[in-house]
Amino acid sequence: MMNITKPKPINPDTPLTLIKDIQNNVNNITVMCIVLEVNPAVQLKDNHEVRTVKVADSSACINFSVWDEPGSFLYPGDIIRVHRAYAIYFRNCLTLYVGKNGEIEKIGDFIMTFNESVNMSEVNLNAPPPQPPPGANGNTISNARRTGVGKQNMKPNAFKGNNGKSGPRNQMRPERK
C-alpha cells in the first residue's frame, strides 16, 4: 500500500533567489519568475514526460525542467513561484528542477519585469562533470578521495591504428594502398 503524505507547507516568508544567483548543485531554491516558452513534452521510455520551460525574472533567464503533469499546466505569460527547487548542469547547461518535495505555484499572469539577455542556461563547455550528490550510493567526500572519483586528468584512449588520434574508428579515413 502506498503512503501518501501531505506536502510540506509553503512558508511565504522564504527569501526568493534571483535567477542570476543560481549556481550548480544548489538545493532548496525558491524563485518567482515568468514563463517565456514551453517546449513540447518529450516522452520517456518509463512512461514519464519532461518539458523544458524557459523562465525569467528581473535578473536573468534559465531553463526549467518540469516532469509529468505539472508541465502541462504551464503557459507562456504565467507568473509562477517555484519552491524547493535545485540546479544542476544537464548537457553543459545550467538547468533548474523542481524536487520531489518541491512545488510550482501559479501566482499571476503577464505582468512582470524580466531579463532575457542574461541566459544562465547558455552552453558552458567548462561545466563540471555530473556527480551524484554526496552520500548517494555510499559516496562521501572521503570515499571520493580514496577511490579517485571525480579526477579530471584522464586522457581519452587512442584507438590502435588511428595514428594516436582519439575518436571512433569509423570516422577514420580508409588507408590508401
Question: 151 in a domain, yes or no?
Answer: no
Number of separate domains in the chain: 1
Residue showing cell 550528490: 133
Q: Cβ contacts of residue 23 below 8 Å, gap of 6+?
A: 87, 94
How high does pLDDT run on average in the chain?
72
C-alpha cell at 140: 562521501
- The pLDDT of residue 31 is 92
For the purposes of burial, counting CB atoms within 10 Å of the CB of 43, is it exposed (0-12), middle (13-18) or buried (19 or more)? exposed
Whether pTM exceeds 0.85: no
- The pLDDT of residue 162 is 47
CA distance 67 to 72: 9
pLDDT for residue 75 is more than 70 = yes
> Among residues 93, 39, 48, 46, which one has the least CA distance to residue 69?
48
pLDDT in tens, 125-175: 666 666 655 555 554 444 444 444 444 444 444 444 444 444 444 444 455
Question: 50 in a domain, yes or no?
Answer: yes
Question: 96 in a domain, yes or no?
Answer: yes
CATH of the domain at 64: 2.40.50.140
Q: Which domain holds residue 29?
A: 19-109
CA distance 32 to 83: 9
